[in-house]
Chain A
Amino acid sequence: MPEMHAVKRLAWEALFYAALLLLLVSVAFPFFWMVKTSVETGQGLFSYPPHLLPAAYSLEGYRTVLEQTSVGLWLWNSVLVASVSTILALTAGVSGAYGLSRFRYRGKRMLALVILTTQMMPPLVLIIPIYTIFIQLGLTDNLLGLILGNFAFSLPVVIWMMKSIFDSIPFEIEEAARVDGASWLCVLTRVTVPIALPGLVATGIFTFLAGWDEFMFARTIVTSTSKWVGTVGLASFIGAYVTPWDQILAAATIFTLPPVLLFLAVQKYFIAGLGAGGVKG
């Protein structure tokens, strides 16, 4: 019965699009609600039932939060901490991953295992001792301390991700360069890294986002408001006497924008890199 078949097919299609729409709405709604609340004026904000679209638009929340708090400074601190720790972790991690991926020597599996273990470590096990060590070194309340901490958290991840990327590059390509007389370091920087560039970009973004997002360590180490990073600054809005949701979510929107734009700009590399890493394991 071809007609039955067509109806069944149509029903499946309808079901598919309905499910897709439902999922899309649940995924996108918090983003929408964040931006919507951030441009709502004070009166419409605290009304129940809430307006699904703002009754009146205003950028007052953004203006207030930028003028009366140090959001700009906190964002700058976040940029500094996340990018410097990313650069450090990539520099050390790429070289380490290459050493783990390319050569044959005794104890290689053991070394890889040590790195995997450090990657699995609950951050608390690092944060408590680093906190006591930093107190002795005078690195608390210092952006340098934050950079070092984030570097520590991301280095094993970088090594692990880059190792799986290097593993997937056939050695023959490098061998040609070696035979032509290039040193190993030259092979790595001139041949292997350019091939691995998409994966390197994905790893870099991954590391940057982790640093941008890091909260537990930053909250613990840094106390003076001038050294807060975005996460700590944002969290400080919670529990204020009257919660000014338009300002809070204006700040949250500003803070969400850089990672989202960054992600959208490189999502193709990112998905490929992350997916390949996961499948290869």
Chain B
Amino acid sequence: MAGPKIATLRDFGNPNGSMRRWQIDWSTRERLVPFFFLAPSFLALALVSLYPMAHAFFISFHADGVGAVGRFVGFEQYQRILSSDYFPRVLRISVLWTVGNVIFVWAVGLATALMLDRNFPGRPLVRAMFILPWAMPYVAAGLIWGWMFDYEFGVLNYLIQNAGLSASKLNFLLACPDALTSLTAVSVWKLFPLGTVMFLAGLQTIPVDHYEAARVDGAGPIQCFWYVTLPGLRNVTIMLTLLITIWTFGRAFTIIFLLTEGGPAGCTETIVIRSYLEAFKFFHLGTASAIGVIVLLIALAFSVAYLAYAYRKEVGNA
């Protein structure tokens, strides 16, 4: 580094004069500063994220080689996947799974946040407990829920039968629409604390006088919730929906893989599970990469469309 780094107050008043000792002049130097800060991140991102992503596209244009990338086939993989029997099925399951997660994480997150927003004895403890599932590792959550779902010895069947909710035992993970419902329950149990925390923070941003004004106008608690609370949580709802959608559609893996591995009869096989099995069970790297790219494109298209829609509405309301 040439020259002293410390500039005095006088130097700032007279940047051209006293900066002469620096080899690069002051304004160029200042303009380079942000790139100096950005360099490590971008170098790292390029190496471990952008280059692999480009490589994924590259693989997806090649045939499924054994242990290596096969010959170049252009869009053939994509054509094959999009016209296959399984693709509409895994896409439908992924959408069901995502919608179920979004709705329930939203609802449970909002309900818990509203409860925690009022004062009651032991609130800090309750709040910590509500957020605890978030800290449990997915693999551990998969194991404990798998044990509770167990058909022969599982405690959930016992509790449900004792409460008189069902006369016969339920096949939580072994019957067909039920397995996806059970997995969604586990996933929501793990994810709803994110909703709780985000909604709690959102509730703090709604000014108290909005509620007062509504009450003066004769609004009851339900109207207050509908006309003040919900609109006040609009931004949080948008962010939460986007996050949960991206996570559950494009990421959710561990719980499904551990508890059902896509079964029974493929009815919990999401598009992510399918891609993973193609890659690391059948070693069809080309097919798997192409499915991965399709997931990425769907997630991107959804995010752009969703944000554009949310933003347009906001402008319309203003």
**Which of A31, A45, A115, A124 has a CB less than 8 Å from the CB of B45?**
A115
Instruction: For A61, list chain B residues within 8 Å (CB).
Output: none
Instruction: For A45, list chain B residues within 8 Å (CB).
Output: 153
What's the least CB distance linking B64 to chain A, in Å?
Answer: 12
Nearest residue (CB) in B for A105 is B34
Contacts A24-B126, A99-B34; is A159 near B41 (CB within 8 Å)? yes
Nearest residue (CB) in B for A78 is B137
What's the least CB distance linking A83 to chain B, in Å?
Answer: 15
**Which of A20, A96, A234 has a CB less than 8 Å from the CB of B38?**
A96
Q: Are B152 and A132 in contact (CB under 8 A)?
A: no
A264-B125 Cα distance, complex, nearest whole Å? 10
What's the least CB distance linking B89 to chain A, in Å?
Answer: 18
Q: Is A6 an interface residue (CB 8 A)?
A: no
Q: Are A220 and B280 in contact (CB under 8 A)?
A: yes
- The number of inter-chain residue pairs (CB within 8 angstroms) is 292
Q: Is A148 an interface residue (CB 8 A)?
A: yes
Q: Are A156 and B132 in contact (CB under 8 A)?
A: no
Q: Is the interface of B mostly helix, strand, loop or mixed?
A: helix
Residue of A95, A120, A130 contacting most chain B CB atoms (<10 Å): A120
Q: Which A residues between 107 and 148 are near B, CB-CB below 8 angstroms?
A: 108, 111, 114-115, 117-118, 120-133, 148
Instruction: For A17, list chain B residues within 8 Å (CB).
Output: 120
Q: Is B213 an interface residue (CB 8 A)?
A: no
Contact with A along B149-173 (1 / 0, CB 8 A): 0001111001000000000000000
Contacts A103-B33, A255-B140; is A122 near B272 (CB within 8 Å)? yes
Q: Are A124 and B275 in contact (CB under 8 A)?
A: yes
A4-B221 Cα distance, complex, nearest whole Å? 17
**Interface residue count on the A side (C-beta < 8 Å):** 100
Q: Is the interface of A mostly helix, strand, loop or mixed?
A: helix
**Which of A49, A234, A262 has a CB less than 8 Å from the CB of B143?**
A234
Q: Name 15 interchain pairs, CB-CB below 8 A, sorted by A.
A: A16-B118, A23-B112, A30-B141, A50-B154, A93-B41, A124-B292, A128-B279, A128-B285, A148-B48, A271-B200, A274-B201, A275-B197, A275-B201, A278-B236, A278-B243
7 tightest CB-CB pairs across the interface, nearest first?
Answer: A96-B41, A275-B201, A99-B37, A152-B48, A122-B250, A129-B55, A278-B198
Known: A16-B118, A278-B198. 19 other contacts (CB 8 A): A19-B111, A27-B129, A28-B132, A92-B40, A99-B37, A100-B38, A122-B296, A126-B49, A126-B56, A130-B48, A155-B45, A156-B49, A184-B33, A213-B138, A255-B139, A256-B135, A274-B198, A275-B198, A276-B201
